[in-house]
Amino acid sequence: MTEQLTLYSYWRSSAAYRVRIGLNLKGLPYRTVPVHLVRDGGQQHAEAYRQLNPQELVPVLMHGDRVMRQSVAILEYLDETWPSPPLLPAASRDRQRARAIAQVLACDIHPLNNLRVLQYFDRTWSVPQPEREEWVRHWVAEGFAAIETMLTDHPSTGVFCEGDIPGLADCCLIPQMYNARRFAVDLTPYPTLVRVEQACLALPEFDAARPENQPDAPAPEPAPA
Amino acid sequence: MTEQLTLYSYWRSSAAYRVRIGLNLKGLPYRTVPVHLVRDGGQQHAEAYRQLNPQELVPVLMHGDRVMRQSVAILEYLDETWPSPPLLPAASRDRQRARAIAQVLACDIHPLNNLRVLQYFDRTWSVPQPEREEWVRHWVAEGFAAIETMLTDHPSTGVFCEGDIPGLADCCLIPQMYNARRFAVDLTPYPTLVRVEQACLALPEFDAARPENQPDAPAPEPAPA
C-alpha cells in the first residue's frame, strides 16, 4: 500500500473532518490539499476541482489515481482496504446500527445545514441570518434527540457510539458536535452525545483531525495585551 | 433464516421504496405495515411508531425482533445477510463508487426534499408552494447533473449504475427518478439516468416496488366514461 493518499479538504467542513478522523484512526498518513469554500467565489466550483468532483463539494480522497467522493463511502473504503483497527463492528446487526447512526448524521442533519443550503436561503429567499441559524439548530436538535434515544436505549452503546472502539458513527458524530457548538445549539438534552464526544476528543486521532489543527485553519486571534 | 421481515412503509416514501427494491432483488418475502405520513397528523409521529424509530421517519425494517432504521444501512444489512445476488460489486474501488452514487442520492438530494422540510418552509417561513417546488427541482438538478457526469465518465457504468447487475446505487436512483417526475423535473439533461431507469423498471423486482403497486397506494382514478 505505497500509493499516496491525498485529501481535498476544508478545515471547517464536517464531511472532510469525518474522513480526517477515519484516516487517523487507521494510522494512514495523507497529504492535505486545502479547498477554500468561500474564497475566490468558492474554490470547489473551479473547473480543475469539478473534474475531481462534479458535485463541487469536499472532501475528495485520492488513493493513487483513484478518485473517491462522498465521505461515508470513503470511510467504508478505508475500512475494507485497511481492516485493522476496524471502523465497523463484526456482527451484521451491530454494523447496521452503527451505519444507521452515521446515516442520521450524514443524511438527516448535515446536508440540511450545509453552506450551499444556507447560501440558497440567503440568495434566493432573502432569509435573515437569525432565521437561517434557527433552521440549523432545528435540524441538529431533531437528529441529536433521535441519536440520544438510540444510544441510551441500547446495550451495545459503550465508551463510543457502538462498543468500546471508536468507529464510523463517531467519525460522523464529532464533526456534527463541532458544528452544533458553532451554531450555539444547547447540548444539555444530549448527555450521552457529550460523553462520547469527550471520550473521542481525548484521543490523538480525533484531536489531530480538529478543524483548528488543520493547515488551512486561520491563525488564532492574538491574546489581548 | 426463518425470522419474519416486516417493513414499515409509506407507498410514496422514496426511502421506503429503496428498501422494497432491495428486498425484492434479494428475493425476500416481507410483510408491509403502512405508516401514513399525512393522515392523523402523520402516523410516524404516533407514540407506538416512535418506539420503533425515534426519528419518526419511514422506513423501519424488522428482522425477527431486530429493529433497523435508515434505508441505506438497511440495504447494507440485507447485502451482508443474504449475499446473493449482490447489491454491491466485489472490488473495493467499485464498491466505493457505487456507495458514493447512493450517498449523493440519499444524502444530498432526498433529505433536502423530504416532506418534513417542505412542511418547515410552509409552517415556519410561509414559503409559497411554487417556490417550495422550485427548491425541490433545484436540488434534484444539482444531484442528477453530478451523477450523470459520474456515470458517463466511467468505464464501470453498465446496464445499471455499476456494471450489469442492479444494486445499491440503482435502489437509490429509481425512487429519486419517481420523485423528480412527480415534481416535473426536466429529465432531458440526464439521458444516462433515464436509460438506467428504463432498464430497472423493466425488471419485476423494481416493478413490484413501485409506489402505485403498494397495498397502501390510493386506488387509481376511474377512467372517464
Within a domain: B48 = yes
Per DSSP, B163 falls in state B
What's the ipTM?
0.96
- The CATH number of the domain where A54 resides is what? 3.40.30.10
Residue B120 has pLDDT above 60, yes or no: yes
Q: How far is A114 from chain B (nearest CA, A)?
A: 10
Over residues B70-76, the mean pLDDT reads 98
Residue B2 has pLDDT above 80, yes or no: no
Burial A202-219 (b: 16+ CB within 10 A, else e): ebebbeebbbeebeeeee
Per the CB < 8 Å rule, is A93 touching B77? yes
Residue B19 phi, psi dihedral angles, 5° rounding: -70, -35
| pLDDT tens-place string over residues B131-177 | 999 999 999 999 999 999 999 989 999 999 999 999 999 999 999 99
Within a domain: B56 = yes
Question: By residue range, what is the domain housing residue B165?
Answer: 92-207
One-character DSSP codes across A164-197: TS--HHHHHHHHHHHHHHHTT---TT-HHHHHHH
Over residues B55-74, the mean pLDDT reads 97
User: What percent of chain A has pLDDT above 70?
Assistant: 99
Within a domain: A213 = no
Please tell me which residue of chain B has the smallest CA distance to A65: B93
Residues of A in contact with B108 (CB under 8 A): 55, 57, 111
**Same-domain pairing of A102 and A153:** yes
Which of B118, B113, B135, B112 has the alpha carbon at shortest distance from B38? B118
Per the CB < 8 Å rule, is B100 touching A149? no
Q: How far apart are CA A51 and CA A44, in angstroms?
A: 10
User: What percent of chain B has pLDDT above 70?
Assistant: 99
Within a domain: A219 = no
Residue A221's pLDDT band (cuts 50, 70, 90): confident
- The CATH number of the domain where A118 resides is what? 1.20.1050.10
If you average pLDDT over every residue of chain A, what do you get? 96
Question: A18, A57, A107: best mutation site toward chain B, by most B Cβ within 10 Å?
Answer: A107
Question: A96, A123, A144, A190: best mutation site toward chain B, by most B Cβ within 10 Å?
Answer: A96
Within a domain: B159 = yes
Per DSSP, B219 falls in state P
**Same-domain pairing of B25 and B61:** yes
From A55, A85, A115, the end of a domain falls on A85
The neighbouring-strand residues paired with A32 are A7
Please tell me which residue of chain B has the smallest CA distance to A139: B117
**Same-domain pairing of B56 and B138:** no
**Same-domain pairing of B141 and B61:** no
Asked, as a colleague might, if the bond just before B59 is cis with ω within 30 of 0, I would say yes
**Same-domain pairing of A81 and A102:** no
Residue B225's pLDDT band (cuts 50, 70, 90): low
Per the CB < 8 Å rule, is A55 touching B135? no
Q: How far is A213 from chain B (nearest CA, A)?
A: 27
Strands A31-34 and A60-63: unpaired
